[in-house]
Structure 1
């Protein structure tokens, strides 16, 4: 028989149990809450880039300022042979640069086939902020840069000129297939960066000198919104590195963000975008693709086609490199 006293007693126990469960759930949620701000970027040259970006993020600054400042570091470093100054030239011995930037509102700017300017990402930002366009290319991009205070600089270093002459003398044919065993010799390792600041604003940037000894005039995925980079401030952002043609054919970064919109984690979304390439591109084994992704909440992840893709992470809890899982390692 259920008396008033027994009902109250059981109800009290039940409520206490619910309360305890609620507290436990809240505690678990707190532990699982991603850490903000956070910045992630591709490859080991992302480490010093992240440090520069963190100076802004740690001071409660805007993530757009952070990603621009971050990727300018490898753009100016001649030791980073796939970005900016000191980048490997094309088949004609010209250093041609591609870059883009995108903010949390969906505003974007990019430059393609830009020569003589060390910091194409900053030109891309001005395209976003000062023109009605998204992309400027070639001589038009150069003219715009010069009109906005940038100066012409010699981007081909002595070392890169020697390597180009050696390549030309050997009459080696250009191949878009990545040299998996020796990526240092002929690589195309873009610096892509994503950051979310303390206010939850997520922005991204991407900059590269492109494939080593590429055909003169070639433009890769890096300056193409939706391919090399895509940001949706309500969901998250994604960026790519590797064989740009494969990323362009599948609109990889946009695809990653759409997978995230449909509920996937950043890492799982990157994996699914790689699987799309595996499904659509017959000779995918001869290429490398790496995707990084960052959610609005600060959760991050990555995935690559080949083993060996490292990405740099910095937040209040971790600073360093992480190796992404790879599709071919799973087979």
Structure 2
């Protein structure tokens, strides 16, 4: 199959709402992020903020992610979503400055709603990159953030239904009682050559909704860039689990000299590949945003064919593209003089690959 025909076939899988082709720029300022639907409130909030001269790209990223946190986008960002085995919601967030390359992050943050805000405080008021757990909560409270429960009536009820269904699905393996049939407490069993291996147990039976994350990249009118990520992780996770969201280079990454990237999906797998760092470096080597996104996804799929992933990539001129695996991945963008956010849908790379002649 020629490259021209492959691109033509791929274009058939782009949402009719897309007004510009992949790897084209709508102009600056620009905001782009993982997912459409409920997540477009973040795209709009961040983009509109950039129309004010005093708003930096870093500000826009914080505004966009905080908007999703407050709106509880799709139940997978912010409070009241993705309860762990103990029915508690914890938050992961990261924000990165594309000029200084400095990032700030929080992981397994408890009892504070504005995770992206705390992450920015880590960036601006410490020389650290990542704070975690209760001590991240302590840092937040010391800096004026409010301590409050992240559990809602809905999230508590959802967790109880999960428990009544035998805690299915969950993320335990090689334990007794059998984690595919019942709740714990669990104890580990000795491993041997016949023990199940993780590649066949990536979030067994998990719904894709449990993986949705907002990763957002902003480019100001002057061309400065920033990126950030916010999520409440995977439903039914082992308490204390941290995914790819707060990991610089995995959940998101930005270098204002080149471009930025945002990721969503099975964070336990994705963080092993640092896909956003990989994608930005691919841009640096001359790939288009679409090529860089697909290359990052295919690197993961070769090792973990069942991985659910989504990568959105944008260069420092606003040219953009995306790729995913395991689901139909969407991303949203708004830039230049666009009057509304546009959502782009791309089929998983497995299907694109199978279409080859």
**TM tier, smaller:** 0.7 to 0.9
Aligned position for 2:262: 239
Which residue among 153, 158, 162 is the counterpart of 1:163? 158
Aligned position for 1:323: 345
SS of 2:211 mapped into structure 1: coil
Which residue among 199, 203, 206 is the counterpart of 1:177? 203
Matched, 1:254 2:277: yes
Aligned position for 2:81: 87
Cα deviation, residue 34, structure 1: 5.3
Aligned position for 1:7: none
Matched, 1:312 2:307: no
Which residue among 154, 158, 171 is the counterpart of 2:149? 154
SS of 1:59 mapped into structure 2: coil
Partner Cα distance (2:327, 2:241) in 1: 27
Aligned position for 2:122: 127
State the structure with more CA Rg: 1
Matched, 1:53 2:46: yes
CA distance 1:119–1:178, shift in 2 (3 Å):
farther
CA distance 1:144–1:129, shift in 2 (3 Å):
same
With structure 1 as the length reference, what TM-score do the two structures score? 0.85
The answer to whether the 8 Å contact 1:242/1:290 transfers is yes
Alignment map for 1:256-275 (pairs within 5 Å): 256-275=279-298
The answer to whether the 8 Å contact 2:219/2:226 transfers is yes
Matched, 1:74 2:68: yes
Aligned position for 1:200: 223
Matched, 1:40 2:60: no
**Cα RMSD (Å) of the superposition?**
1.6
| Larger relative contact order (Cα-Cα within 8 Å, sequence gap ≥ 6) | 2
Deviations, residues 216-247 of structure 1 (Å, cap 9, x unaligned)? 11000000001111111110111110000221
Cα deviation, residue 45, structure 1: 2.7
Partner Cα distance (1:328, 1:139) in 2: 40
The answer to whether the 8 Å contact 2:38/2:73 transfers is no
Unaligned runs of 5+ in 1: 1-31
Cα deviation, residue 152, structure 1: 0.9
Cα deviation, residue 179, structure 1: 5.2
Cα deviation, residue 163, structure 1: 0.8
The answer to whether the 8 Å contact 1:237/1:257 transfers is yes
The answer to whether the 8 Å contact 1:307/1:329 transfers is no
Partner Cα distance (1:86, 1:149) in 2: 22
Aligned position for 2:181: none
SS of 1:239 mapped into structure 2: strand
Aligned position for 1:8: none
The answer to whether the 8 Å contact 1:77/1:86 transfers is no
Report which of the two has the higher share of helix.
Answer: 1
CA distance 1:209–1:33, shift in 2 (3 Å):
closer
Matched, 1:295 2:281: no
Cα deviation, residue 177, structure 1: 2.4
The answer to whether the 8 Å contact 1:307/1:328 transfers is no
Aligned position for 1:189: 212
Unaligned runs of 5+ in 2: 1-23, 172-201
Deviations, residues 147-184 of structure 1 (Å, cap 9, x unaligned)? 0000112211101101101111221340442758x534
With structure 2 as the length reference, what TM-score do the two structures score? 0.79
